[in-house]
A and B are shown apart, each in its own frame.
Chain A
Amino acid sequence: MNSHNVTIAGYLLVVAAIVLLQLLATKTRAPIPSLGDLLTRAMRTRTGRVGMLVAWAWIGLHFFAR
């Protein structure tokens, strides 16, 4: 397995963990909040809300803007 494949496997592992946590949160009684609940919680305050929206804006800037 070369470095390229190891790097991609790492990303896939993170994605799989996100899907697993979300499924555990929404389909079972495990004490895990869903990602939506966490985002809502993080965005209760103004700094949290603006911080999350700026992070979202940064994704757009990073992929499309000069």
Chain B
Amino acid sequence: MANYNTMEIMICVASRELEDGATVGVGTGAPCAAAMLAQKAHSPNLVIMFEAGGVSPLLPEMPISVGDSRTFYKAVMASSMCDIMDTCSRGLVDYTFLGGAQIDMYGNLNSTIIGEDYRKPKVRFPGSGGANDFASFCWRTMVMTLQDERRFVQKVDFVTTPGWLTGEDSRAKSGLPAGTGPYKIITNMGIMDFEPRSKRMRVISINPGYSFKDVQDKCGFELLKAPNIAQTKPPTEEELCILREEVDPYRYVIGR
């Protein structure tokens, strides 16, 4: 079995979710690496979109910013924030990858503040950026994050970005476009989806070397179990080779 680190397995697992011909809105870092890997490994016609306006670039290297010149290098179009988000709002974008400081059992994300007092927060984080927009409009939202009980919490301090809100049909009732919502949560320990009725997070696959208990121990709320929990396929030699040599040779992301 190949040797790989935490970031590498998350990126490889995430990349397998992106089928050829799909559209995906990504940011920098791990999500971008996953999209690049998918494009090089199995989905050459994956359309990568960056919220600042880059459409389907042939990325020469990992971008540092979702608006830097790499995001529209040999792209089909250098457009605008409104154009990209309008395209998501019209229903043309299949996937997006997000992260955050905190996530709850319904996949709601916090990237705004830690603390009780909004006016004088203990920690101020960036805010939504385009995350709230992407999660509102893209059909399937995926999250890549480390499994950690400080991240997976009973209640997020601030709902920056909508998941399934308070579960069941609360998301649809809120006014968010029908048929959208959190799809999969990819961590270093496993893969979660959401139980269809309650919309609570449930484990569907465990990464090599871990057990359900390990995942639960690193989660601040009770996880549901899928009827048949799979064993995550570890990164293949081919995936690792592309990831290390073509996607991220300077180890900006996989070296973290």
Tell me, yes or no, whether A binds B.
no
Residues of chain A touching chain B, judged by Cβ–Cβ distance below 8 Å, are: none
